[in-house]
Structure 1
Amino acid sequence: MPHTDTETRDLFDRTMREHARPDGPGVRVERVGPVVRQVGGTDDWNGVVWSAPGLDAAGADAAIAAQIEHCTALGLPDFEWKLYAHDSPADLGERLRAAGFVAEEPETLLVASAQLRAGPAELPEGLSLRPVTDAAGAELMARAHERAFGTDGRRLLHQVVKRLAEAPEDFVAVMAVDGDGEPVCSGRMELYPGTGFAGLWGGGTVAGWRGRGVYRALLAYRARIAAERGYRYLQADATAMSAPILRRLGFTELGTTTPYVYRPTR
């Protein structure tokens, strides 16, 4: 890894944000003035992933207004501005709120060596690993997500089915299932060719199986695949639930990121 956390963060900003790649089929990445955004359909993730480091107050307000106009014109149900704590200007979050964006729970940007985190996926007795390779598996994965996080899994289902059908080569999805085939945890990994980074997503475990190593096992499984394919870094935007686990597993905190979401009024 680079010698300092700041160097690692700079590398992440440059390769994963400024030069972001689409996170799936049917979406595109655009650089519009001082921001980089992803654009897709109503069931895809749409939002700003990067803003220029020297962005000033006037430029920020203009860029925010432009993204609201863009979102509204496309008829999107929501649009996210992914704000990192080190982005400028310092009051960008306040400016987003003033324009109608709503801040969701902040997440911690964590990074680790894929090689060091790779290892056997050791699950507690009664559970087994099941790779997700088709629509039926994606449905189970969405059910695990709903049970773990208490949120609607329909958008996740759409994205995973689409990814598996159209661009599976840089995507990994896996579940832990019990003896009845019921999913108790699921996790995804996006591989970003040419960046050295593999992004970890999901990983939520249903309440009855938490604290028993299920999350750690799915992490080891994905880390091994990333390392085998030549990726140096694992990256996660961790919730308050998963961040402590990842820190204990050797992940380094590079900062925080907060989703600011705009939902046009109809």
Structure 2
Amino acid sequence: MSTLNVVYVEPERILAEVDEFAGELSAKGVPWSIQVRGEVDPELRNLAAGYGMTSAEASPLLLWDAELLPTLSTGLPLGAQVRRVPGAEWEVLAAAMAAGFGAPRAVVDQLIQPALLDAPGVTGYVLEVNGESVATGHNIRIGDHVLMLGGSVPAQHRGNGYYRALVAARLREAVADGAHYAISENSPMSRPLFESLGARQFETLIHLTAS
């Protein structure tokens, strides 16, 4: 996936360094992109075009503040429970994510590893209904911020409030662990849910990809 293999560019970038990393990644023979926060300046756009990266895909970065904690529901759908997934059970989370994203299991297995789930600040979650994992997510704590990733629900289980309940539970746990802000890069499907919980867009993430 081009959005997972990225050259990430800070606003105060050195163009020669961006070019060096872009050249290294382009030689890998995998889909990739140049990721930028905010506007893409002409010099960077020209550099990207030299690698065939002429398409710009924008996605919102949403921010949630812990002051909204009292507004979160503490209830769960009937028969549901939320639990953390340790590294020893990584295959449970990998199988659930593959089903939720409709992605090949071999691809997901590269993203979900025991060492990742047991790393400091990283927590994997599943919401289970009668023993079946029907929603997934990751929290990554950095200081008083938590990055929320990996949200998925299989098509046949959508519309039942499972992901909403899981997001609320993850936010409550993050605040209990000391986080004050939550950040999420959202798709058109998940954005309305996060905004209904009080999250607001604070920046745009641009992926420059091959057209």
**TM more than 0.5:** yes
Q: Which letter maps to 1:190?
A: I
Corresponding position of 2:177? 229
Counterpart Cα distance in 2 of 1:145 and 1:103: 28
Counterpart Cα distance in 2 of 1:116 and 1:241: 22
Among 185, 188, 193, the residue aligned to 2:135: 185
SS of residue matched to 2:52 = coil
- Contact 2:19/2:47 (CA < 8 Å) preserved in 1? no
Could you tell me the percent identity over the aligned residues? Answer: 24
- Contact 1:109/1:256 (CA < 8 Å) preserved in 2? yes
Among 119, 127, 145, the residue aligned to 1:176: 127
Q: 1:195-238: per-residue Cα shift (whole Å, max 9, x none)?
A: x2100002221222222221121112111121122211000000
- Contact 2:102/2:154 (CA < 8 Å) preserved in 1? no
Counterpart Cα distance in 1 of 2:164 and 2:66: 13
Count how many residue pairs are aligned between Structure 1 and Structure 2: 205
TM value normalised by structure 1: 0.66
Whether 1:107 and 2:59 are equivalent positions in the alignment is yes
- Contact 1:110/1:237 (CA < 8 Å) preserved in 2? yes
Q: For the aligned residues, what is the CA RMSD?
A: 2.8
SS of residue matched to 1:122 = coil
Q: 1:145-197: per-residue Cα shift (whole Å, max 9, x none)?
A: 222222234444344322134x2x30111101222x3211100000013xx21
Corresponding position of 2:36? 83
Whether 1:128 and 2:81 are equivalent positions in the alignment is yes
Find runs of 4+ consecutive structure 1 residues off by over 4 angstroms.
102-105, 118-121
CA gap 1:218/1:102 in 2 versus in 1, 3 angstroms = farther
Unaligned runs of 5+ in 1: 1-44
- Higher RCO, Cα 8 Å, sep 6+: 2
Aligned-pair CA distance for 1:87: 3.4
Q: 1:55-74: per-residue Cα shift (whole Å, max 9, x none)?
A: 6xxx64x444312322256x
Alignment of 1:210-229 (within 5 A): 210-229=158-177
CA gap 1:72/1:89 in 2 versus in 1, 3 angstroms = closer
CA gap 1:128/1:230 in 2 versus in 1, 3 angstroms = closer
TM value normalised by structure 2: 0.80
